Amino acid sequence: MCLDRRAFIRLSAGATGAALLGGSSAQAQNMTSAPTAPAALPESIRALRRMTDGVAPITLDERRARITRAQQLMAEHKIGAIYLEPGSSFHYFTGIRWSNSERMFAVVIPATGEPAYVCPKFEEERARELIKLGRDVRTWEEDESPYKRVAEIFHDRGLRTGRIGMEERVRFFLFDGIRREAPAFDYVSADPVTAGCRMFKSPAEIALLKRSNEIALAAYRATWLTVREGMPQPEFAGNCAAAIAALGGAEGGIFCSFGKFTAFPHGSITPQVLQEGDVVLMDGGCTLDGYQSDITRTFVFGRPTQRQRDIWNIEREAQDAAFAAVKIGAPCENVDAAARAVITKAGFGPDYRLPGLPHRTGHGIGLDYHEWTNFVRGNRTPIQPGMCFSDEPTIAIYGEFGIRLEDCLHITEHGPEFFTPQSPSLDQPFG
């Protein structure tokens, strides 16, 4: 089973009591408590209303333009075609969602000509219902080779030798079968094409990402109002999942940590119950038409200590410094360096050492929770309009607590803009 970070957190947290409700995984649902009945939800969640009015999904015309752009990039990089199996890139270009199995379902997008699909024969009718871009569907019976169908597509698109791009998440057995059937080609990464398209979001994508993040933040605020002494993690996380669902978000939820376990960047296996004075960290989000949100808020249940205030303020300063370093044309690594400099100056680190900032400052976001490209040391990719990132330095102090503030941003023609307001203070984390 292939899991993204959110699914991994959901499963691992559910297995240990740090539950995350609202995911699509049946296994996760089995390992967490049942969703709270609407009548039993706290008032702050019952009062929520859907925030999806006016949301516009990605159109077929936009997907056609994506394929055209991919073909331009293939020509630039001398790639004859790219091969994709179902996943986020497959959905990005085709609009199709399809669960992977051992049976090949795939699309080949050639540098010239229309896309062609490879499909099990017994799934053909369902596939044709879903396929809106292209009419070429090559089927294979259970005792036939799907790899021959792929090779036939290459041949029929005029390809005899040259480079074929494999999307980064294509499973090895599929790649291996294709290269055995069509050995005359040089198989390379399709990243220059797929990431080259997906890193730069359209206005429609920006709008979906913005609303997805707004839904997540509204759900966080409603969940924050439900905290109580003795609350276990599954209840807190379940409240947030219910809030996201009430607001219209899909696949929504968080992981949450209390007290000293907030120093674990992605949570601890130890079950936790909320006590007066605990730091509380909540991290997660939802999707809207497949587009992800990712927000972290950290606050204190009860009256904060001066130590907690000081570290929270340093973290906010680091997040601000990262944002200020986001300049069009500057390398992505500058953003990480700016956040890390603040934390190091405060006496933490240096580098990735603990106590301090143990991970990169941000990641790309879009159809995947984490996607190209990153605010990380060594990444010289220039920041350009249309890119979207998280801004999330962390200060982890094992044995005490951790603080992370995270908001996502997009790059406009004039510089960066957050999708959601930053957390204004430790006392009023949601304003």
CA distance 73 to 81: 11
Residue 216 domain-assigned (yes or no):
yes
Together in a domain, 244 and 365: yes
User: What is the reported pLDDT for 40?
Assistant: 87
User: Which CATH number does the domain housing residue 346 bear?
Assistant: 3.90.230.10
Is 211 in the same domain as 117? Answer: no
pLDDT value, residue 65? 98
Q: Which residues contact residue 8 at a Cβ distance below 8 angstroms, ignoring those fewer than 6 apart?
A: none
Q: How far is CA 141 from the centre of its chain?
A: 36
Asked whether residue 378 falls in the same domain as residue 292, the answer is yes
Which domain covers residue 87, as residue numbers? 60-198
171 and 107 in a common domain: yes
Could you report how far apart the first and last alpha carbons of the chain are, in Å?
Answer: 40
Distance in angstroms (rounded) separating the CA atoms of residues 161 and 153: 13
Residue 177 shares a structural domain with residue 272: no
* Cα–Cα nearest to 173, from 92, 97, 101, 99: 101
Number of helical (H) and strand (E) elements in the chain, helices listed first: 13, 17
Mean pLDDT by 10 residues, the chain (431 residues): 46 39 32 51 97 97 98 98 98 98 98 98 98 98 98 98 98 98 98 98 98 98 98 98 98 97 98 98 98 98 98 98 98 98 98 98 98 98 98 98 98 98 97 89
Q: Give the Å distances, CA to CA, from 225 to 219, 292, 401.
A: 10, 24, 21
What's the CATH number where 68 sits? Answer: 3.40.350.10
Same domain, 193 and 213: no
Q: Are residues 180 and 213 in the same domain?
A: no
pLDDT, position 33: 36
Residues 257, 281 contacting (CB under 8 angstroms): yes
Query: Residue 231: which of 306, 320, 301 has the closest Cα?
Result: 301
CB 286 within 8 A of CB 244: yes
Q: Would you say 327 and 383 are in contact if contact means Cβ atoms under 8 Å apart?
A: yes
DSSP string, 25-47: -HHHHHHSPPPPPGGGS-HHHHT
Q: What is the pTM of this model?
A: 0.92
Cis bond before residue 355 (omega within 30° of 0): yes
Please give the Cα distance from 370 to 169 (Å, whole number): 13
Q: Where are the beta strands (DSSP E) in 303-348?
A: none
